[in-house]
Amino acid sequence: MTVTTEMPTAPLMEVRDVAVHFGGVKAVDGISMKLEPGAIYGVLGPNGSGKSTLLGAMTRLTPMTRGAFVFEGTDYTRKPARAVHRMGIARTFQTVRLLEDRSVRDNVLLGVDAVGRSQRKEAAAQVSDVLERLGILEIEALRPDELSYGMQRRVEFARAIISRPRLLLLDEPTAGMNSAEREEIGGLMRQLLAEGITQFIVEHDVQMMVDTCDRLYAMNFGKLIAEGTPTEVVRHPAVQEAYLGKGAGQHA
């Protein structure tokens, strides 16, 4: 489970000097990362630090200014957003985005509607399993507006994992959840990891990140300010400063 940087295998995902500028605003400003398979990575940062923009760029939904993304040895920087999903990268969104007029089951199946026919058939056979694991099998015929927020989040999760991605990008997966629901989602992430799904989480909740991630990055003002194990990163003076303001570092 722990990541050794000397591992000779090729990284699952490589982020090379990526920048996203909106006019004069440097939302992401020269980020490089290497994600090895078999770990949960987290990007920590206050609101507006550029972490969600980075995730948007990784899925090619947000146009980037410079840099490159390499997934399993393939540079997909110039590929359209729809190709990213087919490569084996799935994502969830910061806000719940479900089809209003569709049932829970339909919303989950949408996750494999645009992949190859054989993969779609395989996934369709497993959809009840996925629903069951997320505790939404009993409500599979309901529509999103009939569900609680936590349940809607689970539907999004199910839609992201039904395609069996090799890399799962999670944009604030526990936002708006209560602590019991958070723990449940954390447990689910560990379980998915055991099944071979590498995860990349963007989040500002420090406790959740420390509990769940194997390796952390910290971002502020579009740049990486720290990198390492969760404890190392949380104790890092630059991170303390970003979260608590100047001078807070000494009390850690």
Partner 1 sequence: MSTWYDMNVILIQTTLTTLLLALSIQVPLRFGVFSFAGVGAFGIGGYTAAIAMVRFEWSTWPAVALGALLAGAITLLVGLVVQRLTGLYMGMATIAFTLIVSVLAVNGGDWTGGAMGLYGALGEISIPQLAVVVLVVVGLLQLTELSSMGRRVDAVRDDPELANAVGVNVVLYRRMSFLVSGLIGGLAGAMTTLLRTTITPAEVNFHLVIVSLTAIVVGGSRSWVGALIGSIIFVWLPTWIAFVAEWEKVAYGFIVAAAAIYLPNGVLGVIKDGWHRFRTRDERARAAAVAEEA
Given the rule CB under 8 A, which residues bind partner 1?
59, 61, 80-86, 91, 93, 97, 99-102, 106, 109-111, 113-115, 120, 138-139, 141-143, 146-148, 150-151, 159, 163, 178, 180
Please state the closest distance from residue 123 (CB atom) to partner 1, in A: 11
Please state the closest distance from residue 66 (CB atom) to partner 1, in A: 22
Residue 167 amino acid letter: L
Which lies closer to partner 1 via its Cβ, residue 159 or residue 236?
A: 159
Which lies closer to partner 1 via its Cβ, residue 3 or residue 139?
A: 139
Q: For residues 104 and 220, what is the distance between their CA atoms, to the nearest angstrom?
A: 37
Please state the closest distance from residue 184 (CB atom) to partner 1, in A: 12
Please state the closest distance from residue 198 (CB atom) to partner 1, in A: 18
Judged by DSSP in three states, 40 sits in strand
Which lies closer to partner 1 via its Cβ, residue 150 or residue 237?
A: 150
Please state the closest distance from residue 121 (CB atom) to partner 1, in A: 10
Q: For residues 45 and 28, what is the distance between their CA atoms, to the nearest angstrom?
A: 12
Burial label, 143 (beta-carbon count in 10 A; 0-12, 13-18, 19+) = middle
Which lies closer to partner 1 via its Cβ, residue 141 or residue 248?
A: 141
Q: For residues 230 and 173, what is the distance between their CA atoms, to the nearest angstrom?
A: 18
Best CA proximity match to 175, nearest among 243, 54, 97, 94: 94
H or E, element range at 84: helix 81-87
Please state the closest distance from residue 36 (CB atom) to partner 1, in A: 24
Residues 59 and 35: beta-carbon distance below 8 Å: no
Which lies closer to partner 1 via its Cβ, residue 120 or residue 223?
A: 120
Which lies closer to partner 1 via its Cβ, residue 85 or residue 215?
A: 85
CA distances to 31, 89, 252 from 15, in Å: 7, 14, 31
Residues 201 and 40: beta-carbon distance below 8 Å: yes
Please state the closest distance from residue 93 (CB atom) to partner 1, in A: 7
Task: Provide the phi-psi class of 200: left if phi over 0, else alpha when psi is between -120 and 50, else beta.
Answer: beta
Q: For residues 16 and 11, what is the distance between their CA atoms, to the nearest angstrom?
A: 12
Which lies closer to partner 1 via its Cβ, residue 25 or residue 99?
A: 99
